[in-house]
Amino acid sequence: MATNPMQKKARNSFILGVLITFLIMAIVVAFLLYSMLNMKKAEEERQASLVITYALKTDVKSGDTIDASKLATVTTDKLAAPANAVKASALTENTIAKIDLTKGTIITDSMITDSDSPLTNDLRVQEYNMIKISSQIASEDYIDIRLRMPSGLDYIVISKKKIEIPQIEGVDSLNTIWMKLTEDETVSLSNAIVEAYKMKGAMLYTAKYVEPGTQEKATPTYVPSTETINLITQNPNVVQEAKTAMYNRYQTYRSIRDSINSEVSNVDEDDAKTGVESGVAKDISTTTEQRKSYLDSLAGNYRIKIIGGNNGENRLYWNIWQNGFLDICF
């Protein structure tokens, strides 16, 4: 049967159209596959270039502890991240900031160090109110406790301790500090306190570190009495390392102990006893008074606080504090 030329031409055109369509589809599919492969490769390269860093969620001061609660995980490009950004393994419970840092800062190795006061089994929070507190001291500062003798000789009793100042009715205490001390430090400071009470003109005072994150812990120079040394070396709550260090300090700086003994022995025995009794009684009274104020604030007791006006101004107003105290100003 003869094929109509027009039909043949139409069939050939159809077949050619189908072939061209398949060719275009193949090209499109190949292009899509190529693009997908390139995108996958680019994503793999991007993922490979990402690193996990840690940024601060809050401002921290030099010497502050940096723990998980203060850090946020940030994923960033290697090129944008600091070369010495810290890894998780570098952060421990003793990690502190060397310098003041602001919120959002990515932590690097050069910004942190390990604390000089690691957690030990004998670490306790101790409260003291007989130490002269410098005017610019605030909570979370690092200090040395020093003993100044009547002769002018000056010794470091306890070194580089982070302090907290308790608040009474929302106001920092004027004469009380909290510190975490080990057993041997507590015993040594107690010895220094008693000796300061014995000698008229002796004084325990604080000395603040400027950059606690970078400044090394000072070496204590105060040498406790022989009786105190014996107590420390026999105390089961004092770790062996501290016992050894205290014994070595006594052997190395025995001349310092001799100087202290000389000044203490010059004090009349009755005067020394009176000084100790008076000092202890004052400490107890101060602690009791502050404890009562603290408990009153917890109970929400209302008390009136009178604040005088300036230059005889006749002004009167009142305000109720959140803790239940009433201010009357005139």
Q: Which of 41-45, 267-271, 296-300 has the lowest mean pLDDT?
A: 296-300
What is the arithmetic mean of pLDDT over 288-305? 65
d(CA 24, CA 19): 9
d(CA 130, CA 203): 9
End-to-end CA distance of the chain: 124
Band of the pLDDT at 84, cuts 50, 70, 90? confident
The pLDDT of residue 302 is above 70 = no
3-class SS at 60? strand
d(CA 192, CA 199): 11
**CATH fold of 50-114, please?**
Type Iii Antifreeze Protein Isoform Hplc 12 (3.90.1210)
By C-alpha distance, which of 133, 207, 211 is closest to 165? Answer: 133
Question: Greater confidence, 187 or 119?
Answer: 187
- The pLDDT > 90 percentage for the chain reads 18
Cβ contact 188:158 at 8 Å: yes
Name 271's Cβ contacts closer than 8 Å, sequence gap at least 6: 198, 200
What is the arithmetic mean of pLDDT over 268-292? 81
| pLDDT for the residue numbered 304 | 44
| pLDDT for the residue numbered 38 | 79
Q: Which of 15-19, 27-31, 125-129 has the lowest mean pLDDT?
A: 15-19
The pLDDT of residue 66 is above 80 = yes
Domain edges within the chain: 50-114, 124-285
What is the arithmetic mean of pLDDT over 49-74? 86
The pLDDT of residue 64 is above 60 = yes
The pLDDT of residue 299 is above 80 = no
- Provide the strand spans (E) within the chain: 50-56, 71-77, 95-97, 112-114, 124-128, 142-148, 154-164, 167-168, 171-172, 177-181, 203-208, 304-307, 317-320, 326-329
| pLDDT for the residue numbered 298 | 67
The pLDDT of residue 1 is above 70 = no
| pLDDT for the residue numbered 127 | 92
| pLDDT for the residue numbered 313 | 42
